[in-house]
Amino acid sequence: MTAAVSKKTTERAAALRAQLNEASHRYHMLAEPTITDAEYDALLRELEALEGEHPELITADSPTQRVGARPSSEFASVRHEIPMLSLANAFTDDEVGEFARRIRDRLERNAPLTFSVEPKFCLPYSKCAVRSICREQASRNTTRWRALRRARSSR
């Protein structure tokens, strides 16, 4: 059983939930982010730690109890041929190793994996997604990309 939760800890958890929920709403619904991804992730990790130490602080509206937020209706829905897996905010070697383990489990293979990694160039307050493609698909997608670029440049 956990020790009694101090008023200060309870108030901090509530403040973190409110700040994270507001940031998520402003980002996903209003497209007006107020904090960077790194700031959001740091606050979320702090809340996760507090809730981990004191499970009684977990509430239904906690950002730790859901993935993402309802996107703005202005965004079109995209169906990926191959599901995109998330690094889940991997910041350490162990977390990246866990991501690789999840991929191996999903592929049902124990062979070493090879990754191609590029720097993430994003504007502040924006999210980017990177899609890696198996070699078998690379030529097909490269051909599509070149055709798309040609079509756009001919406009």
Task: Single out the catalytic residue among 7, 8, 120, 127.
Answer: 120
- Tokens 């055709």 -> residue: 147
Instruction: Reply yes or no on whether 120 is catalytic.
Output: yes
- Token pair, residue 32, equals 């007006």
Nearest CA to 101 out of 83, 88, 116, 120 is that of: 88
Which sequence positions are flagged as catalytic?
120
